[in-house]
Amino acid sequence: MVIFEGSLSHKAFHSKMDKTYLAEHEPLVFGYAKAAAMVLFGYFVVKLVGVAAGNHWHLLGTPYGIWFLVEVLGFVALPCFLFTIGSRDQNLGLIKFTAALSVIGIVLNRLNVSIIAFNWQKPLCERYIPSWMEVMLSIFMVTCLMLVFRFIVTRMPVFYEHPDFKEKHH
């Protein structure tokens, strides 16, 4: 998420960034990519151990098991591999793509846990589905947070050092 949000901020507020911030951006992204690969590998192992510990291998052939495999292989193992390759090859484009893929995976996981697979034994008509008002409220809150972030970044020295205090930071 940090790589994804940082990439969006880097693109949107590039003109507000000083030379120091711009010079440190790429090495920081490569470091985050290495960390993300390690975290995703650990998460993948935890998911695998969870299936093995419960001896639930037979469930992987069911529709929900296939959905689980899509989530774990497509949005955990694949990003882990791509972060590793991107970090090794110093490929910033691949890392940014993989960060977006990982964010999609996080959203998919949250939907799986809270809506799709929650109470999976109940019939579809009895499962919780958020109303349009809940969806709109979520979109509204995210939009408000983005506007507050934009307001702060454009009016305060977030991406650059304030000229009056440069000597105090070194």
DSSP string, 17-80: --HHHHHHHHHHHHHHHHHHHHHHHHHHHHHHHHHHHTT-GGGGGSHHHHHHHIIIIIIIIHHH
Mean pLDDT confidence for 27-40: 96
pLDDT at residue 115 in the model: 74
Question: Domain locations in the chain?
Answer: 2-129
pLDDT at residue 127 in the model: 67
pLDDT-derived band at 112 (thresholds 50, 70, 90) equals confident
- Which residue type, as a one-letter code, is found at position 54? G
Model confidence at 118: pLDDT above 70: no
